[in-house]
Amino acid sequence: MTDQGVESLTSSGGGSHETHAEEQRRDRRGVKRAVIVLVTLLVVVLGGVAAFVGYLAYTVNDNVTHADLLPAARPPVTAPDGTEVAETGTGTNFLVLGTDTRPGDAGRSDVIVLVHIPADGKTVNMIHFPRDLYVDIPGHGKNKINAAYAFGGEPLLVQTMEDLLKVRIHHVAKTNFDGFKNMTDAVGGVRVYAEEASSGTGNGGPVVIKKGWNELNGEQALAFVRERKTLSEGDISRGRRQLAFIKALMLEATSSATVTNPIRIAKFTEAATKNLVLDQDLSINQLREYAVSLRSVRGNDVVFSTAPFDGFGTSPAGASIDIVDTEGMAELGEALRTDTMDDYGDVFVTP
């Protein structure tokens, strides 16, 4: 068969074959339709993302409240050597408080944690202050540090902490134990290491904590952070549990299983902000900026310690107290003032 005959067969055939030009036009129409579909999907996805981000922003703004948590008068803080403590440039100090909402517990702050974020934002230092720490409370003499909260709320507790450490407390954030419970459930539970076993009761019945790793839901986590009577060092041991729980919650909240799950993110945001109270000087935008600045911080970058104490004792009124280690507290204050918490020695590691 001649070349002409072959060409005749491929270009004819009763109109069942397309010409090259027709094929090109068809391909262009297919590409155009594909582009339209992709653009449409992109608009839908971006619109969904924008709506989701907008929803989260609305949730935060709607849930978070502001209150007068800082003292109305803020005199300069003076270091032991008589110099005035710098307000900026040496990191930021947050006083984070957790209040128990059980009947009869009104006026108590069962979680007192000083969070220091250094100027370089590479680590987070969390110092637990036992509620039975026996300290000077301005205008009220010596008493348990928790009494400052009972006497004058957050402002007096801030003043007490500033006098004790000779540092400036820049911001205060407060939540309640229901927030801890709801945040735990929002991320599907947490895996927490317990230094010692305990048994207690939650609203759902008995809660048994074994020594070692425990998988806890919200109700079990609540019992975990509340327990102190059966622990070897009482409030000290409970404080270590609370910090271990906070670390576990932070790790779960920033895990890929959470950050890639819009439902979890929405639930966690709702739970984290539902009962959150901030001082008047800490805006939502500032809070967001702090969060963004710490986006590279991981579990190993969060360092825990306990405020220095010398042991246990009894107050003149007969109450059990934790005796302040005066020299150790001075060293802690110095590390906070000079932004050198990396060199501070009283540190314990949670698994």
- pLDDT value for 205: 76
Average pLDDT over residues 245-270: 86
DSSP H helix total and E strand total for the chain = 10, 15
- pLDDT value for 107: 53
Q: What is the dihedral of CA 323, 71, 139, 77, to 10 degrees?
A: 70
pLDDT band per the 50, 70, 90 thresholds, residue 8:
very low
Name the token pair of 76.
Answer: 């300069």
Contact (Cβ atoms closer than 8 angstroms) between residue 177 and residue 99? yes
- pLDDT value for 190: 95
pLDDT band per the 50, 70, 90 thresholds, residue 262:
confident
- Higher pLDDT pick, 136 / 270: 136
What CA–CA distance (Å, rounded) separates 271 from 275?
8
- pLDDT value for 328: 92
What CA–CA distance (Å, rounded) separates 122 from 243?
19
What CA–CA distance (Å, rounded) separates 81 from 232?
38
Q: Which residue has the tokens 């998988």?
A: 215
Beta strands in the chain (DSSP E): 65-67, 92-99, 109-117, 124-128, 133-137, 141-144, 171-176, 190-194, 198-202, 205-209, 212-216, 277-279, 302-306, 309-314, 320-324
The share of the chain scoring above pLDDT 90, in percent, equals 41
Q: What angle do CA 27, 33, 39 make, to 5 degrees?
A: 135
- Higher pLDDT pick, 299 / 169: 169
What CA–CA distance (Å, rounded) separates 195 from 179?
24
Query: Which residue from 150, 162, 95 is spatially nearest to 127, judged by alpha carbons?
Result: 95
What CA–CA distance (Å, rounded) separates 260 from 279?
31
Running DSSP on this structure, what letter comes out for residue 84? B
pLDDT band per the 50, 70, 90 thresholds, residue 7:
very low
User: How far is the first Cα of the chain from the last one, in angstroms, to the nearest whole number?
Assistant: 83
**287-323: per-residue pLDDT in tens?**
878 877 777 777 678 888 899 999 899 999 999 999 9
What CA–CA distance (Å, rounded) separates 328 from 302?
21
What CA–CA distance (Å, rounded) separates 201 from 208?
8
- pLDDT value for 5: 42
Query: Which residue from 245, 257, 261 is spatially nearest to 181, judged by alpha carbons?
Result: 245
Q: Are strands 109-117 and 92-99 parallel, antiparallel or unpaired?
A: antiparallel
Question: What residue segments make up the domains of the chain, in order of their start?
Answer: 21-63, 69-343
CA torsion sign, 142 to 143 to 146 to 148?
Answer: negative
pLDDT band per the 50, 70, 90 thresholds, residue 4:
very low
Q: How many CB atoms lie within 10 A of CB 244?
A: 21
Residue type, 48: G
pLDDT band per the 50, 70, 90 thresholds, residue 171:
very high
**30-62: per-residue pLDDT in tens?**
666 666 556 555 554 445 455 556 656 767 788
What does pTM read for this prediction? 0.79
Q: Answer whether residue 200 shows pLDDT above 60.
A: yes
Q: Answer whether residue 14 shows pLDDT above 70.
A: no
- CATH, range 69-343: 3.40.630.190
Q: Answer whether residue 6 shows pLDDT above 60.
A: no
Ranges 52-66, 170-184, 193-207: which has the least confidence: 52-66
Collapsed DSSP state (helix, strand, coil) of residue 351: coil
- pLDDT value for 62: 84
Q: What residues are paired with 199 via a beta bridge?
A: 208
pLDDT band per the 50, 70, 90 thresholds, residue 263:
confident
Average predicted confidence (pLDDT) for the chain: 82
- pLDDT value for 11: 45
Contact (Cβ atoms closer than 8 angstroms) between residue 309 and residue 324? yes
